């Protein structure tokens, strides 16, 4: 049984920002299904479970007035952010995201909200690992704009909310409804085209959507989550080649992999202006989440193959 939220939070709803996104929509459905009242904050109108209370606020800024929502809220989950940085004025974008999050955290604290949960990113610690995985006490070292933005957002919200805030740093999240790079990989494997990944011997951490939602729920109520920063991943870590094989199996396809020297793949990605994408295919990104498991009594309950199977079923249903 999950612990109750601290008494100071009352019995009000959970405010979920970014409720129209991949993770936000799934979280709202999960909470509503458990009978938890939810205020779903959206940039624009979107379909949500009937029991959720939608609020369309447009772009969130430091000037957003949260008082009508926070006056009766017991917790906030902040998921709203752009998945990709703009091509111009990156520093201004970083600061605007931090200012908006800091304002939300400050107003939540002033309203007596018991717990805030921020979904950050493992990219705060970097883009790749060498000999050792990223660990709980590793200092931030973001290497790209997105990671820098998440780090600044963490700092701004921590300064405003203090120990009321719990920060989660997931790796790539996959599951039904996934978008962007993982959806592109699903399409690529499903195409049946030969892929030059057979010689890639890296290790990548991923997390299935339901495993992430479990930890968000835990962070909302667990006393030990207060003021903490938590890493997470699925039980297995796999190479890019093995991930393609597992996806192909989930899709009912025969994996078609051939050997191409990784150095040549890296060069091709760089020449195509996709060095970052090439690095994600070739480099390792490993996570040690033992501290999260011990402190919050959490572990991923959905295995990688089961998560990929659920994602593949969704993918098959959505195709025209």
Catalytic residue numbers?
A: 146
Q: How far does the chain reach from its first CA to its final CA, in angstroms?
A: 42
CA distances from 130 to 17, 133, 207, 223, 281 (A): 35, 7, 20, 34, 15
Bridge partners for 78 per DSSP: 17, 118
Q: Which two tokens stand for residue 191?
A: 């195409």
In DSSP notation, 236-267 reads --B-HHHHHHHHHHHHT----B----HHHHHH
SS3 61: coil
Is 298 in contact with 218 (CB distance < 8 Å)? yes
Q: Which positions ≥6 away from 91 have C-beta within 8 Å? A: none
Is 205 in contact with 122 (CB distance < 8 Å)? yes
């Amino acid at each position: 049984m999950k612990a109750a939220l601290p008494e100071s939070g009352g019995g009000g709803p959970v405010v979920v920002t970014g409720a129209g996104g991949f993770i936000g929509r799934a979280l709202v459905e999960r909470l509503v299904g458990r009978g938890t009242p939810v205020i779903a904050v959206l940039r624009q109108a979107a379909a949500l479970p009937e029991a959720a209370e939608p609020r369309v606020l447009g772009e969130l800024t430091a000037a957003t007035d949260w008082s009508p929502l926070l006056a009766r809220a017991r917790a906030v989950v902040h998921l709203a952010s752009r998945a990709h940085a703009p091509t111009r004025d990156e520093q201004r974008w970083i600061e605007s995201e931090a200012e908006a999050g800091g304002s939300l955290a400050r107003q939540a604290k002033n309203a007596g909200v018991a717990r805030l949960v921020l979904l950050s990113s493992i990219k705060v610690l970097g883009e790749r690992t060498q000999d050792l995985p990223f660990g709980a006490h590793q200092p931030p070292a973001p290497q790209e704009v997105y990671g820098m933005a998440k780090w600044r957002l963490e700092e701004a919200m921590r300064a405003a909310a203090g120990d009321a805030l719990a920060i989660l740093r997931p790796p790539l999240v996959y599951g039904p409804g996934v978008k962007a790079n993982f959806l592109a990989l699903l399409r690529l494997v499903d195409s049946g085209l030969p892929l030059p990944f057979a010689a890639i011997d890296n290790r990548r951490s991923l997390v299935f959507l339901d495993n992430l939602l479990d930890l968000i729920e835990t962070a909302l109520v667990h006393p030990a989550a207060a003021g903490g920063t938590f890493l997470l991943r699925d039980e297995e870590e796999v190479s890019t080649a093995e991930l393609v094989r597992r996806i192909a199996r989930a899709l009912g396809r025969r994996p078609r992999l051939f050997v191409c020297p990784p150095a040549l793949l890296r060069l091709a990605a760089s020449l195509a202006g996709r060095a970052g994408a090439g690095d994600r295919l070739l480099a390792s990104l490993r996570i040690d989440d033992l501290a999260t498991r011990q402190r919050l009594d959490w572990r991923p309950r959905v295995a990688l193959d089961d998560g990929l199977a659920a994602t593949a079923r969704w993918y098959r249903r959505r195709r025209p």
